[in-house]
Amino acid sequence: MTTATVALATCGVYLVATLVMGLLPGLRVSRSVAGYVAADRSMDTLVLYFVLGASIFSSFAFLGAPGWAYSRGLAALYVIAYGILGMVPFYFVGPRVRRLGERYGFVTQAELLAHRFDSRPLSVLMALLSLGAFVPYLVLQMQGAGLILSTLTDGRISLAAGAAAAYGVVLVYVLWSGVLGVGWTNTFQGVFMMAIAWFLGLYLPYQLHGGVGPMFDAIRGERPELLMAPGLAADGSSWTWAAFGSSVLVSAIGFTMWPHLFMKAYAARSDRSLRLTVVLYPTFQIFLVPILFIGFAGVVSFPGVEPADSILPHLLVRLEVPALLVGLVCAGALAASMSSGDSILHAAASIVVRDGIRPLSGGGLDDRRERGAIRVAVLVVSLVAYYFAVVSRVDLVALLLAAYGGVAQIMPPVLAALYWPRVPRQAPLAGLAAGIAVNCLFLLRPELKPIAGLHEGVFGLAANVVVLGLVALLSRVDERTAARGGEYLRT
């Protein structure tokens, strides 16, 4: 059998195993919206740990992080840095959000804010912001999955067919099992990705340099600039600390506020399971260290690989590794793509219905119809994303980068909702609108930034906080909003 056949068969086995893992939980979850979106609030630490971990580690992390290490050196450490910081706010915010969800029946992020500030426009704005962030993210995951299967078969399976095969599996288990299917497949995929990453991250440096230490000695001799903090910019010049630091901060804040992660607080069985998940979460970050080693391994041995993101497949081909290993790595990359894509797809559909359609329909959907509407939305969102993945030529990476700055803007309203009772209802909406506008302005016109190099999300956050604070201080808060704020603070 050829390498491609063995590798393709390995990917096929992985897809079947994922499908089975995704369908089984659907047999024991209730046929309600709370069951479909929040797993009947029953997720324990094991599943939460892998859901939160695997959802974030997308195909971009599996292929892009080695590419960053390979082309930009220590700049790649920013991924670990924001991962360390990004989960800590959840340790404090998460349990309170979970209790509020249990008390009021929330299953999405916007529901909490819309209830706290009694604001329907806030709910719709959040739904639009979430969708704007989710669709490019999902499209990139689909393209990643299609690319893997297409590359593996030398184009005999097209990108469109590859994406359809991988996301056909995702669609089936998301439709059938909802978030519990996402949870259990993420557990399987997380373990699988970690095993592959550690194996490759140690195998490649030993194969090429005789060890991790000698590998860095070789880089220090040939490309010392890669090991000078904070690494290199995309154009090969030195990255600035302002750019490095602000990217870490905005990404960390965005990390905490990504709606598909935030929503998992509602799925937690208890405060303890949620807190323990956050406590253990830094151990998942360790998984990125061998991922970076993969990229560093190619610096001296294979200079000039373009694009840098292809360094992992390039190493596998040039080193002529066994066919089974090629298959396992491709399955690992598929796992990275699907573990993020399923969570995003499920969250996007839930948000469309709960935060967009439901408030606009005057709450006229019963539980059964609402669950049905969410499943229809799963289909629609996946078809829209699939269209963009195989047809459109929009610059998705730029859209995704813009999305990170946008998602970070959710942090001030969330903190105000939970910790500042005397915030009037109009303040978070004004702050959020200002933050998004400033973020978009500096994204489109970076030459207007007051401090060059600083991430546009930082300016957006500054505008957001100032506007929210000013409106809060200058406006009168009505008694009902203040009472609800007090209730949130005491929960």
Partner 1 sequence: MSEDDPTAETASEQPGPRAHGMRASERAVVLVTLLATLALCTPLVAPAWVGTGPFGLPRALVWVIGWLLAVFVALVVDYRRETGGIGRDRGARGDG
Q: Report if residue 214 touches partner 1, rule: CB under 8 A.
A: yes
Q: Report if residue 246 touches partner 1, rule: CB under 8 A.
A: yes
Closest CB to partner 1 among residues 209, 371: 209
Closest CB to partner 1 among residues 14, 82: 82
CA trace torsion 310, 313, 319, 320 (10° rounding) = -150
Query: Cα separations (Å) of 268 from 24, 38, 107, 278?
Result: 19, 8, 11, 12
Site stretch for partner 1 (CB under 8 A), options 206-214, 297-305, 309-317, 465-473: 206-214
What are 317's two structure tokens?
């081909």
Alpha helices per DSSP H over 106-240: 109-116, 120-152, 159-177, 179-209, 212-222
Residues between 34 and 93 that touch partner 1 (CB under 8 A): 44-46, 74, 77, 80-81, 84-85, 88, 91-92
111/100 Cα distance (integer angstroms): 10
Q: Report if residue 353 touches partner 1, rule: CB under 8 A.
A: no
Written in H, E and C, the secondary structure of 275-323 is HHHHHHHHHHHCCHHHHHHHHHHHHHHCCCCCCHHHHHHHHHHHCCCCH
Q: Report if residue 298 touches partner 1, rule: CB under 8 A.
A: no
Q: Report if residue 483 touches partner 1, rule: CB under 8 A.
A: no
What is the end-to-end Cα distance of the chain in Å, rounded?
61
Site stretch for partner 1 (CB under 8 A), options 106-114, 120-128, 279-287, 366-374: 279-287
Q: To the nearest whole angstrom, how small is the minimum distance from the Cβ of residue 270 to partner 1?
A: 5
127/135 Cα distance (integer angstroms): 12
Query: Cα separations (Å) of 350 from 28, 113, 297, 455?
Result: 20, 16, 42, 30
Is residue 79 within 8 Å of residue 65, measured between CB atoms?
Answer: yes
Q: To the nearest whole angstrom, how small is the minimum distance from the Cβ of residue 212 to partner 1?
A: 7
Q: Report if residue 486 touches partner 1, rule: CB under 8 A.
A: no
Q: To the nearest whole angstrom, how small is the minimum distance from the Cβ of residue 89 to partner 1?
A: 9
Site string for partner 1, 386-425 (x = CB under 8 A): ----------------------------------------
Q: Report if residue 449 touches partner 1, rule: CB under 8 A.
A: no
Among 28, 234, 282, 383, binds partner 1 (CB under 8 A): 282
Name the residue type at position 437. A
Closest CB to partner 1 among residues 167, 244: 244
Residue partners of 92: CB distance under 8 A and separation at least 6: none
Among 229, 234, 398, 452, binds partner 1 (CB under 8 A): 229
189/47 Cα distance (integer angstroms): 11
Q: Report if residue 283 touches partner 1, rule: CB under 8 A.
A: yes
Q: Report if residue 452 touches partner 1, rule: CB under 8 A.
A: no
What are 276's two structure tokens?
């323990």
207/106 Cα distance (integer angstroms): 51
Closest CB to partner 1 among residues 354, 455: 455
Among 112, 249, 316, 352, binds partner 1 (CB under 8 A): 249
DSSP labels, 65-104: HHHHHHHHGGGGHHHHHHHHHHTHHHHHHHHHHHHHHHHH
Q: To the nearest whole angstrom, how small is the minimum distance from the Cβ of residue 183 to partner 1?
A: 14
Q: Report if residue 204 touches partner 1, rule: CB under 8 A.
A: no
Closest CB to partner 1 among residues 168, 213: 213
Main-chain dihedrals φ then ψ at residue 238, nearest 5 degrees:
-70, 135
Q: Report if residue 225 touches partner 1, rule: CB under 8 A.
A: no
**Number of helices and strands in the chain (H, E):** 26, 0
Residue written as tokens 């990004």?
Answer: 86
Q: To the nearest whole angstrom, how small is the minimum distance from the Cβ of residue 465 to partner 1?
A: 17
- Residues facing 238 on adjacent strands: 232
8/320 Cα distance (integer angstroms): 16
Q: Report if residue 487 touches partner 1, rule: CB under 8 A.
A: no
Among 213, 322, 446, 486, binds partner 1 (CB under 8 A): 213
Q: Report if residue 331 touches partner 1, rule: CB under 8 A.
A: no
- Count interface residues toward partner 1 (CB under 8 A): 50
Main-chain dihedrals φ then ψ at residue 364, nearest 5 degrees:
-85, 15
Site string for partner 1, 94-133 (x = CB under 8 A): -x---x----------------------------------
Q: Report if residue 228 touches partner 1, rule: CB under 8 A.
A: yes
Site stretch for partner 1 (CB under 8 A), options 156-164, 237-245, 254-262, 379-387: 237-245
Among 97, 149, 248, 465, binds partner 1 (CB under 8 A): 248
Give yes or no for a cis peptide into 424 (omega within 30° of 0): no
Look at residue 445 and give its three-state secondary structure. coil
Q: Report if residue 367 touches partner 1, rule: CB under 8 A.
A: no
Is residue 77 within 8 Å of residue 208, measured between CB atoms?
Answer: no
Chain residues binding partner 1 by CB under 8 A are 44-46, 74, 77, 80-81, 84-85, 88, 91-92, 95, 99, 211-217, 220, 227-230, 241, 244-246, 248-249, 269-273, 275-276, 278-279, 282-283, 285-286, 289, 292, 489-491
